[in-house]
Amino acid sequence: MWAEKHGYVVDLITQDDLHHDHGALDGYRCAVFVGHDEYWSREMRDHVDAFVEGGGNVARFAGNFMWQIRLEAGGTRQVAYKYDARTRDPLAATQPALMTSAWEDPLVNHPGASTFGVNGLRGIYAGFGGMARRGPRGFTVFRPEHWAFSGSGLGYADMFGDSVNIFGYEVDGLDYTFVDGRPEPLGTDGAPQGVEILAMGWATLSEAGRPEDAYSFMLGDRDTLFRASLLAPDATAESVQRHSRGSGMIVHFKKGAGQVFTAGTCEWIYGLSLGEEAAETITNNVLVRFLGLDR
């Protein structure tokens, strides 16, 4: 695997371990999460939050942090009602905070950004079906002075990862605005205090295109309507359209005695597997710093 090839000593746990063992990360300086990172229980998040608050560091190279789940029957059954949670989940009426809806659902009220700095519903799709199918497939850098980019040669407005489609197919982001040419979090979606948006790209929750593109459509506007139903239930057509737009981000923030770095894309590891130079440099910078190595 990439980490071992580059001299890192790796211990592996499953998210099931993380759910059941509050001390699963004890004794480690850094926990790394990768890939298509869609389903988490509240217990998993609580244990990661405690790890970071206590001085641990988290590096997340993953996307689609979307749904709260429950593990039941001794961990043998995963419960996830997802889009239908408000009408079908038995806990919706009595314990809505444990309902298996999106983390950003106001009834759940536990945005993923408070743990990893980004949210799933503020993503989602890039280069998937008819969603942002012709969009850039890399990250655009906005804070090249950050230590994560040291030695990368990247400057303001440079893009990296596009040659290997590192941005997609599901990404995580935040509500944001631009100030003096750089993205800043609006703080309307649970973004943690002090989070920096280092690089980003754009995504969508609705498919669009020419009639001849329709053969590739997969999801239509389902996710746009779902997001709007949660965040703008009395919205106008224009407001619903606003909820069709998203982003994918690389962010960094401090929390308690620890730190979190997130590259919110499912395809980061694919980029590493193909030797994408900037992605490798950034990954090494994060791991070396978070592990306290002298390299």
Q: pLDDT tens, 22-67?
A: 999 999 999 999 999 999 999 999 999 999 999 999 999 999 999 9
Q: Distance of CA 83 to CAs 67, 194, 216, Å? A: 9, 31, 23
Tens of pLDDT, residue by residue over 150-198, are 999 999 999 999 999 999 999 999 999 999 999 999 999 999 999 999 9
* Window from 61-75, 137-151, 228-242 with minimum mean pLDDT: 228-242
Tell whether the model's pLDDT for residue 234 goes beyond 80.
no
pLDDT band at 147 (very low <50, low <70, confident <90, very high): very high
- Percent of the chain topping pLDDT 90: 89
What is the CATH T-level fold of the domain 2-291, as seen in this structure?
Rossmann fold (3.40.50)
Residue with tokens 């992605």: 279
Provide the pLDDT for residue 109: 98
The mean per-residue pLDDT over the stretch 266-271 comes to 98
- State whether the Cα torsion 180-158-199-293 is positive or negative: negative
Q: What is the CA radius of gyration of the chain?
A: 19
Reduce the DSSP state of residue 117 to 3 states and report it: coil
Distance CA 285, CA 33 (A): 16
> What residues does each domain of the chain span?
2-291
CA-closest candidate to residue 251, choices 154, 153, 139? 139
Report d(CA 26, CA 14) in Å as an integer.
15
What's the CA gap between 26 and 243, in Å, rounded? Answer: 39
Does pLDDT of 209 surpass 90? no
Looking at every residue in the chain, the average pLDDT score rounds to 96
Mean pLDDT over 113-140 rounds to 95
Residue 235 has pLDDT above 80, yes or no: no
pLDDT band per the 50, 70, 90 thresholds, residue 286:
very high
Helices (H), the chain: 2-5, 15-20, 42-53, 85-88, 113-116, 222-231, 237-242, 268-273, 277-291
Helix (H, G, I), strand (E, B) or coil at 207: coil
Coil, helix or strand at residue 96: helix
pLDDT of residue 50: 98
For residues 123-127, average pLDDT:
96
Contact, 64 vs 266, CB < 8 A?
yes
pLDDT attached to residue 208: 82
> What is the bridge-based pairing of β-strands 196-204 and 245-255?
antiparallel
Other C-beta atoms lying within 10 Å of the C-beta of residue 20: 16
Calculate mean pLDDT across residues 205-222. Answer: 85
Closest Cα to residue 261, out of 244, 286, 238?
286
* Residue 151 tokens, joined: 């030695």
Q: With a cut of 90, say whether residue 78 has pLDDT above it.
A: yes
For the cut 80, the answer to whether the pLDDT of residue 295 exceeds it is no
Cα-to-chain-centroid distance, residue 247? 10
Q: Which segments within the chain are labelled E, that is strand?
A: 30-36, 39-41, 57-63, 67-72, 77-79, 119-126, 139-141, 159-160, 169-173, 176-179, 182-185, 196-204, 245-255, 258-263
Q: Residue 245 above 90 pLDDT?
A: yes
**pTM (2 d.p.):** 0.96
Comparing 161 with 1, the larger pLDDT belongs to: 161
